A = this chain, B = another copy of it.
Amino acid sequence: MKKRLSSLYHPPTPSYNKRGRLLIVGSVAFDSIQTPFGKINKTLGGSASYFSLAASFFTKPSVVAVVGDDFTDKYRQILEKKKVDLSGLQTAKGKSFHWGGKYSFDLNNRDTLFTHLNVFEHFKPKLSARHKSASHVFLGNIHPKLQLGVLSQIKKPKLVGLDTMNFWIKKTPKELAKILKLADIFVINDSEARELSKEHNLMKAAGKIIAMMKKNPILIIKRGEYGLLMFGKNQIFHLPGFPLEDVIDPTGAGDSFAGGLFGYLSKTGNHSWQNLKRACVAGSVLASFSVEKLGTQRLQEVTRRDIGKRFGEFKRLTHFDNR
């Protein structure tokens, strides 16, 4: 047991394409963020950026997305430095997707100041032969039709993850219902879970959402600073948010979580309940680092040693029989 634990705390160097080949489709974008602790303009953002940076600590993720011709090498290099495969990142004429947001004093609410879809509006992902053979696929928060379009190109996916948001729950319920039936792991936040299920109690909400999915799926409900609940077949797992004194910028926390989760699963190739729990810890570790600085800064500088250390801290935080 001791050996297994220590290997957990010090995850081995990422081995590429051995167990799994991880593909993420989502947005690569510019973010302009205002928080009570600072602001940053046109920084690297988007779900696929956070996801792939987080996943890069465990495996070599491939990104499928589109950017404009304003997406210069400066941005591209942030991802390439972490060995993220950008061969599926199309460049289209025009401007990159740009999001602007402002957080309330306690970071619990945020206003979207603007959403310029730009080149993303006409995005039609077409996968390369290599990407079609991905084993692990994460369908980031984009139009369910695009998610379906990507998934239909993958030959034999072993594990399909799915994210969505209130907007799609309201606007495209039919398409969402279709993609929901194809996902193995659905990652959603608590307010979205309540909206989708029309149930306030999260346990009941989970039951209803699971009934919309394939047989024996995994549902992960994120609760912000309160952590997450993971639902499996007759099993529930809870993990708190890592207690931090200084949360600077929550942007991308959910995507960093998903990236750590899928990076870990793709790396280990083990989808057992026990390993899913550890993958949730991996995701939460990455999310907890992500929020410590503005934008993706912290994900760029954090080391695998830091990650291993916080893994152990999560255990001390939550276990009550670890003598």
What residues of chain A have their CB less than 8 Å away from a CB belonging to chain B?
1, 4-5, 8, 105-106, 200-204, 207, 223, 226-227, 229, 235-240, 243-247, 274, 277-278, 280-281, 314-321, 323
Contact = CB atoms under 8 A, between A and B. Distances in A.
Contact of A203 (B203, B245, B314): B245
7 contacts: A1-B323, A4-B321, A203-B244, A223-B226, A229-B243, A235-B316, A314-B320
B315 A320 contact: yes
A4 B106 CA distance: 43
Nearest to A200: B106
A286 to B, nearest CB: 15
B202 A243 contact: yes
Contact of A240 (B203, B240, B316, B323): B240
Given A200-B106, A201-B245, A223-B226, A277 B320 contact: yes
A181 to B, nearest CB: 24
A231 to B, nearest CB: 9
A106 to B, nearest CB: 5
A4 B314 CA distance: 23
Contacts of A223: 226
B315 A321 contact: yes
A181 B260 CA distance: 43
Contacts of A235: 316
Nearest to A1: B323
B243 A240 contact: no
Contacts of A106: 200
Contacts of A203: 243-245
Contacts of A323: 1, 4, 274
Nearest to A246: B201
Contacts of A316: 235
A281 to B, nearest CB: 6
A21 B189 CA distance: 46
Given A320-B315, A321-B5, A321-B8, A236 B226 contact: no
> Which 4 A-B pairs have CB atoms at the shortest separation, nearest pair first?
A277-B320, A238-B240, A203-B245, A226-B226
A232 to B, nearest CB: 11
